[in-house]
Amino acid sequence: MIKHTVDEEIKRNMKVCGGRVWQIFYKPDYWMNSDYVGNQKLTFPMWVNYIERVYKCQFIQLLRENPDSKACLFRYTGERDCGDVEGKWLYRLEATDPSNGLWYNADNQYVWGCKNCKGEAKNLPMGEDEKYHIDGLNWYSSCSNVEDLLHWYSKEDATYLLKHGFRFTKYYARDYHEFDLETVFLKETATMPIEIDFLSLFEEKKNG
């Protein structure tokens, strides 16, 4: 079976019913067996919340239900054309434990997880830099391509960080701002993260 990303699978089970109304099918066997890229179980409430948050729409009602699927109606509330969810893949390093972080943890406490990094990562302008607070929102640091990610993290640093509670991921983001060697984005309108094998990128770079 071909495994799809969360958004690919949602789009495969979506149809526009007219105006700004979508009908989307939730398939328990599929989502609860983690049979897609990312391997995170999605209960029905989690699935509804994800669609509302990422696709900027509102759950209307459960249209019909059987053991294999739930047919749900959503109303699109965004400003773009209905169904326009184009974005960009972004790459980042993040902690697997909310209490940890490169500089700050999930509670905005200074923890400086990259203090032992010897490469460029320690020079990232974290914290109070205005780019992380555009329009009063919380924007997350990332890179628009793997080449920029390789600029910030050496193989030595990446190996150390992977052993100390970090992982490399990619997000499909709808709202982002690009800067030199860094892109900031909103997690609220991005897909769930997909973990990537960052160390293999060094081999590809060497062989390329």
Q: Positive or negative, the Cα torsion across 3, 8, 9, 12? A: negative
In a domain, 82, yes or no: no
% helix / strand / coil in the chain, to the nearest 5? 30, 30, 40
Written as six digits, the tokens of 148 are 């920029």
Count of the separate structural domains present in the chain: 2
pLDDT value of position 6: 76
- Residues 117 and 196 placed together within one structural domain of the fold: yes
* Domain span including residue 47: 6-76
Helix (H) or strand (E) holding 21: strand 21-26
Residues of the chain with pLDDT under 70: 1-4, 16-19, 34-39, 79-86, 110, 112, 125-128, 204-208
- Residues 115 and 164 placed together within one structural domain of the fold: yes
- Residues 143 and 120 placed together within one structural domain of the fold: yes
The structure's pTM equals: 0.61
- Would you tell me how many other CB atoms lie within 10 Å of the CB of residue 13? 15
pLDDT value of position 83: 46
